[in-house]
Amino acid sequence: MKKLIFGLGVLLACGMFTAFTLMAGPFEDAVSAIKKGDAAALAKILDNTVEISMHGKSNSYSKAQAEIILKDFFSKNTVKSFEIIHKGGQEGGSQFGIGTLVTSGGNYRTSFFLQKKGNTLVLNELRFENK
């Protein structure tokens, strides 16, 4: 009986862990992609038009253009670490994150904004500011 209860407990714990892992949303996806310097993963959550600011310049780009720009940025700035220092937003609505990105090319205050579009959140603004 004890083995049965223990086995059920282990299965329940594993199931809960899997459920929480699968519930990771666009915010967590953005953080993970930035930590890895993975432009392709970041592109999956981009809006059709994205505003990107870096090196003191800001521009709006299509999703495809934004992915190319991000690939170029991450190829020149290998990510060493990314830590979120502030996050916020409205429950069930828009969200934002601000963090410190440490790369081989320097440190950046990085902020991103996710906006609700339909039933999902899409990344519509990304900023890399030299620290």
Smallest Cα–Cα separation from 55: which of 22, 37, 77? Answer: 77
| pTM metric for this prediction | 0.80
pLDDT at position 21: 37
Q: Edge to edge, what strands does the sheet with 120-130 contain? A: 57-62, 46-54, 120-130, 106-117, 95-103, 79-89
Distance CA 81, CA 102 (A): 5
Angle at 29 between CA 59 and CA 36, to 5 degrees: 80
Written as tens digits, the pLDDT of the chain (131 aa) is 666 565 556 655 555 444 343 346 999 999 999 999 999 999 999 999 999 999 999 999 999 999 999 999 999 999 999 999 999 999 888 999 999 999 999 999 999 999 999 999 999 999 999 98
CB atoms within 10 A of CB 51: 15
Smallest Cα–Cα separation from 128: which of 51, 28, 41? Answer: 51
pLDDT at position 22: 39
Helix (H) and strand (E) counts for the chain? Answer: 4, 6
CB atoms within 10 A of CB 98: 15
Smallest Cα–Cα separation from 65: which of 39, 38, 85, 88? Answer: 39
Domains and CATH numbers, the chain: 25-130 (3.10.450.50)
